Amino acid sequence: MYNILITGGAGFIGSHVVRLFVNKYPDYHIVNLDKLTYAGNLANLKDIEDKPNYTFVKADIADLDEMRRIIKEYDINGIIHLAAESHVDRSIKDPFTFARTNVMGTLALLQAAKEYWDSTQAPLPPKGGVRRLFYHISTDEVYGALELTNPEGVPAPFTTKASSKDDMAYGKEFFLETTKYNPHSPYSASKASSDHFVRAYHDTYGMPTIVTNCSNNYGPYQFPEKLIPLFINNIRNGKPLPVYGKGENVRDWLFVEDHARAIDLIFHEGKIADTYNIGGFNEWKNIDLIKVIIKTVDRLLGNPEGHSEKLITFVTDRLGHDMRYAIDSRKLQSELGWEPSLQFEEGIEKTVRWYLDNQEWMDNITSGDYERYYDDMYKNR
């Protein structure tokens, strides 16, 4: 039996990875370990919770003894580590929680896996190339911010299926696997630190590790503090859309199921000790993206075109707001043959439909503690 521990599986990306692995690999036992913070939601996994090859364990990755116990109890041979504090705005308010979970939590998980793997024989890889691996999921934000050298946008030099019809690039540079780390927010600093610990465990102890750095994800089950689900929900409820600064910052968007497919591919075929950047060459200026969301939601709700544009509200900029992220994912494409499956306009349509069709999921979140958090974040704006 191949026993895989997926941490953070009750969160946004983790739930897509758990679903993919549970359905695609009935011979693997998938153990989903999650603390169920405000961002963890078992409703994200309702469709697979009764599958025989799935187990949920509630635990905190920063608890070293618990990590030792769980890794031993389930005889874990592969780890996909997604558990993290993930929201930049929260990291600005409370950096210590980010250091605790993202840095100390990753370290505890690494140490527990090292101790267990040192004490047991590596299993022979069954057919299909399954092996011992600590696979750490990171972000492009560790590379820092790129300059907006082409504020109006120029035709993008590279494209994939995910690229939008408009296909723009807003600067000359892209993040490569070799780009020097230069994190700016407490979130990205904590992720950078955890990436360094993972690589140090390979270099020092020979732990089999892989790190991947992905661009912004979007799709179903994303917690509505992040731009896209927050704005879809606010449009539905006629609430203001708080655009930071002038809305000129650029993000590179990838559909979450394409990230999950990349994780599956890299988990099985990626080179040990290597790094892969994941992204779809799909850059959007925030304000342009927001207009696409407004247009799509209005159309699907039967509102006249432009109806919800009046909700756009420019607010004080995020502290240290990174200007542009843009991933160069050509290494992953050429070495492992990964390609996004979805064109951006299709992905946005699918995403908006999902949130409108799953209003109960959204209402269950926004009617509780989150609503209070949200009011607190924005009441002075």
Whichever of 62 and 297 has its CB closer to ligand NAD, that residue is 62
Tell whether residue 130 is a contact of ligand TYD (CB under 6 A): no
Whichever of 16 and 251 has its CB closer to ligand TYD, that residue is 251
**How far apart, in Å, are the Cα atoms of 110 and each of 204, 265, 312, 326?**
12, 22, 44, 29
Tell whether residue 191 is a contact of ligand TYD (CB under 6 A): no
Residue 258 is a catalytic residue: no
Sheet arrangement for strand 250-255:
216-218, 250-255, 283-285
Site residue total, ligand TYD (CB under 6 A): 12
φ, ψ of residue 224 in degrees (nearest 5): -75, 45
78-117: contacts with ligand NAD (CB under 6 A): 82-86, 101, 105
Q: Given its phi and psi angles, is residue 320 left (phi above 0), alpha (psi -120 to 50 degrees) or beta? A: left
198-217 footprint of ligand TYD as x/- string (CB under 6 A): ------------------x-
Whichever of 11 and 78 has its CB closer to ligand TYD, that residue is 11
Q: How near is the Cβ of 306 to ligand NAD at its closest, in Å? A: 29
Residue 298 is a catalytic residue: no
Q: Residue 216: name the closest of 324, 98, 370 by CA.
A: 324
Whichever of 86 and 185 has its CB closer to ligand NAD, that residue is 86
Strands (E), the chain: 2-7, 28-34, 54-58, 78-81, 133-139, 154-155, 168-169, 209-214, 216-218, 241-244, 250-255, 275-278, 283-285, 312-315
Contacts of 205 (CB under 8 A, 6+ apart): 114
Question: What is the number of H-type helices and E-type strands within the chain?
Answer: 13, 14
Q: Tell me if 2 sits within 8 A of 78, measured CB to CB.
A: yes
Contacts of 335 (CB under 8 A, 6+ apart): 271, 276
CA distance 40 to 370: 12
Tell whether residue 138 is a contact of ligand TYD (CB under 6 A): no
Q: How near is the Cβ of 140 to ligand NAD at its closest, in Å? A: 7
| Candidate segments 38-46, 239-247, 340-348, 362-370, binder of ligand TYD by CB under 6 A | 239-247
Tell whether residue 34 is a contact of ligand NAD (CB under 6 A): yes
35 binds, among ligand NAD, ligand TYD, none (CB under 5 to 8 A by kind): ligand NAD
| 363 HSE (CA, 13 A, CB side) | 7
Tell whether residue 216 is a contact of ligand NAD (CB under 6 A): yes
- Burial class, 115, CB count within 10 angstroms (exposed 0-12 / middle 13-18 / buried 19+): middle
91 binds, among ligand TYD, ligand NAD, none (CB under 5 to 8 A by kind): none
Q: Tell me if 246 sits within 8 A of 314, measured CB to CB.
A: yes
Active site residue: 34, 60, 85, 141, which one?
A: 141
Neighbouring CB atoms inside 10 A of 168's CB total 18
230 binds, among ligand NAD, ligand TYD, none (CB under 5 to 8 A by kind): ligand TYD
Active site residue: 34, 140, 225, 252, which one?
A: 140
Neighbouring CB atoms inside 10 A of 177's CB total 18
Q: How near is the Cβ of 105 to ligand NAD at its closest, in Å? A: 5
| Candidate segments 42-50, 175-183, 202-210, 236-244, binder of ligand TYD by CB under 6 A | 236-244
Q: Give the residue, chosen from 22, 62, 192, 294, that forms a contact with ligand NAD under the rule CB under 6 A.
A: 62
Residue showing the smallest CB distance to ligand NAD in the complex: 11
Residue 375 is a catalytic residue: no
Whichever of 142 and 230 has its CB closer to ligand TYD, that residue is 230
DSSP letter, residue 101: I
Active site residue: 135, 187, 218, 221, which one?
A: 187
Whichever of 25 and 374 has its CB closer to ligand TYD, that residue is 374
Binding site for ligand TYD (CB under 6 A): 88, 216, 226-227, 230, 242-244, 249, 251, 286, 318
- The residues binding ligand NAD (CB under 6 A) are 7-8, 10-14, 34-37, 39-40, 60-62, 82-86, 101, 105, 137, 139, 191, 214, 216-217, 223
